[in-house]
A and B are shown apart, each in its own frame.
Chain A
Amino acid sequence: MAIMTTIGIWVAAFFTLCIFSFLYKDNPFYKFAEQVFVGLSAAYWLVYIIYSIMIPNLFAKLSSDFSGNLILLIPAALGVMMLMRIHPKTEWISRYPISIMIGTTAGISMLRYMKSDILQQVTATMINPFASGSVPVIIGNLLLIIGTICGVYFFYFSKKQEGISKWPSKVGIWFLMVSFGATFGYTVMARISLLIGRLEFLLGDWLHIIK
């Protein structure tokens, strides 16, 4: 077991270094690691789908109680119809499961997104900014209201924004710029975190320099 773990760590370290080598320039080690990753991922997902989704949710249920799980034959048939895409002559059959999937997903998502992303978000902006009595909170609330209104106004394209009507749009741009800056900062943090994770592995698990 310990030997297998050690081999695993060395293999992982090798592939990490292969990927890092791209920072110097594109090279065969990087290409090798990339191809292995693609192949492994595809194989992993295939095995996972069969053993963790298909068998427990379909085959196991049908084999244990076929008559009680007849309804499962419908998604099974739709799945088989989807596979018909493989052959150009039978490709048209896959349109039916795709259309069912798109219709169901759109129906479910429309209600949810309408409530969570529009109604709840708009309601959260309809607040009394002075209710708390605390100056920082009042400033924050005012910025929230002004930022939302001006940000939405920036995307109002039905009328040319000129004269006095261009000012809310300009304010909207400032708010958008600040949000882009914050997003960039968070993106940097995320990427550095990935580097930290890999270095922690190389220096800790592989080289044992850190605990």
Chain B
Amino acid sequence: MKMNILIERRIIFTVLFIAVALPLIFPIGWKTEVSGYTQMVYDLIESTPDGKVGIISFDYDPSTMTELQPMGEAMIEHAFKRNQKVILTALWPMGVQMAEQALETVLKEYPDKKRGVDYVNLGYKVGGMVTIQAMGRSLSEVFPTDSRNTPYSEIPMLDGITRLRDIAWISSLSSGVPGLKEWMMVARDSHDVPVTGGCTAVSAPGFFPYVNEQRQLTGLLGGLKAASEYETLLGRLGSATAKMDSQSIAHLLILVFIALGNIKAYTTKRRKG
């Protein structure tokens, strides 16, 4: 039977649609193996002493929140679990709302954590790399107030935190520019602060070379799978884990489609030749 290429495309989309939807409705519960890069991210926060302050920068907007939001939630939870304090910030305007949303989710399990004492949202700042450079000199100059207009000097957890070097670790959840690379170039390569983070799967191969002997990046969370691995390490059944069944089924299906496509191309070539 000869099929129109447009019909074939529609069949592929429909099958893929069903294959992704079904595991969301009927979860399978496949386990995720933890990769070395995710373990490095986890170990960085895990090995940081209690009371230290870390920065999580929400450098994305809602279009990539499926992949990056679970990472943000898991990292905030990890910091809280280890009694560390977190500064939330954003190099993307909508990152502020993403940070607040992630906080809201985590605070349901940690209701005793207080704004200004255990966490603070410093909000968005325009400028990308230049802003990070300025943070290296003075955080209060870049962020005179937090996102709720509380002056920097009146935020208890920021007492003694004047510049980037006072920060234990920085994590950027990034879906483009400015983002993880800018944090790495300034905070790690110039101020020697450990930088880690997460990115969308599509940009992960571009970041892997920075996880190297020089520790330009201390581990990397690449896409939804890495987010689910992080949740596994935390012992948390988060949103990334719930979505991994769909991801796995879709990947298997695409492998089948690629194989079928190759067989079809081969047979067509033989018939013509």
The answer to whether A and B belong to the same complex is: yes
A78 to B100, CA, bound (A): 34
A127 to B184, CA, bound (A): 21
Q: Is the CB of B254 within 8 A of A188?
A: yes
Which residues of A (91-132) have their CB < 8 Å from a CB of B? 108-109, 112-113, 115-116, 120-121, 123-124, 127
Q: Is the CB of A195 within 8 A of B20?
A: yes
With A179-B205, A190-B200, A192-B251 given, is the CB distance from A197 to B65 under 8 Å? yes
Which residues of A (159-211) have their CB < 8 Å from a CB of B? 179, 182-183, 186-197, 199-200, 203, 209-210
| A199 surroundings in chain B (CB, below 8 A) | 17, 20-21, 24, 246
A200 to B24, CA, bound (A): 7
Q: Mark A60-101, 1 if CB is under 8 A from B, else 0.
A: 000000000000000000000000000000000000000000
Of A52, A121, A123, A196, the residue contacting B246 (CB under 8 A) is A196
Q: How many residues of B contact A (CB 8 A)?
A: 48
With A192-B250, A194-B66 given, is the CB distance from A116 to B13 under 8 Å? no
Q: Mark A21-35, 1 if CB is under 8 A from B, else 0.
A: 001110000000000
Whether, in the assembled complex, A57 has its beta carbon less than 8 Å from a beta carbon of chain B, the answer is yes
Q: Is the CB of B205 within 8 A of A183?
A: yes
Whether, in the assembled complex, A48 has its beta carbon less than 8 Å from a beta carbon of chain B, the answer is yes
With A121-B212, A182-B205, A189-B247 given, is the CB distance from A196 to B129 under 8 Å? no
Whether, in the assembled complex, A53 has its beta carbon less than 8 Å from a beta carbon of chain B, the answer is yes
With A124-B212, A197-B66 given, is the CB distance from A116 to B189 under 8 Å? yes
| A187 surroundings in chain B (CB, below 8 A) | 201-202
Whether, in the assembled complex, B136 has its beta carbon less than 8 Å from a beta carbon of chain A, the answer is no
Q: A200's closest neighbor in chain B, by CB?
A: B24
Q: Mark B8-46, 1 if CB is under 8 A from A, else 0.
A: 011001001100110011000000000000000000000
Of B21, B189, B204, the residue contacting A203 (CB under 8 A) is B21
| A200 surroundings in chain B (CB, below 8 A) | 24, 66, 243
| A25 surroundings in chain B (CB, below 8 A) | 6
Q: How far is the CB of B145 from chain A (nearest CB, A)?
A: 9
Q: Is the CB of A196 within 8 A of B20?
A: yes
A195 to B21, CA, bound (A): 9
Interface size class of chain A, counting residues whose CB lies under 8 Å from the partner chain: 35 or more
| Chain A binding surface SS class | helix
Q: Is the CB of A116 within 8 A of B184?
A: yes
Q: Which of B133, B190, B250 has the most CB of A within 10 A?
A: B250
Q: How far is the CB of B25 from chain A (nearest CB, A)?
A: 6
Q: Mark B200-232, 1 if CB is under 8 A from A, else 0.
A: 111011000110111010000011110000000
Q: Contact residues of B with A, CB < 8 Å?
A: 6, 9-10, 13, 16-17, 20-21, 24-25, 63-67, 93, 124, 126, 129-130, 133, 181, 184-186, 189-190, 200-202, 204-205, 209-210, 212-214, 216, 222-225, 243, 246-247, 250-251, 254
Listed A/B pairs (24) with beta-carbon separation below 8 Å: A24-B10, A108-B129, A112-B129, A112-B190, A115-B189, A116-B216, A123-B214, A124-B209, A186-B204, A186-B205, A188-B254, A189-B225, A190-B67, A191-B202, A192-B20, A192-B254, A193-B67, A194-B66, A195-B16, A197-B66, A199-B20, A199-B21, A199-B246, A210-B25
| Sample of 8 more A-B contacts, CB < 8 Å, known A186-B222, A199-B246 | A23-B13, A112-B185, A124-B216, A190-B202, A193-B66, A197-B65, A197-B66, A199-B17
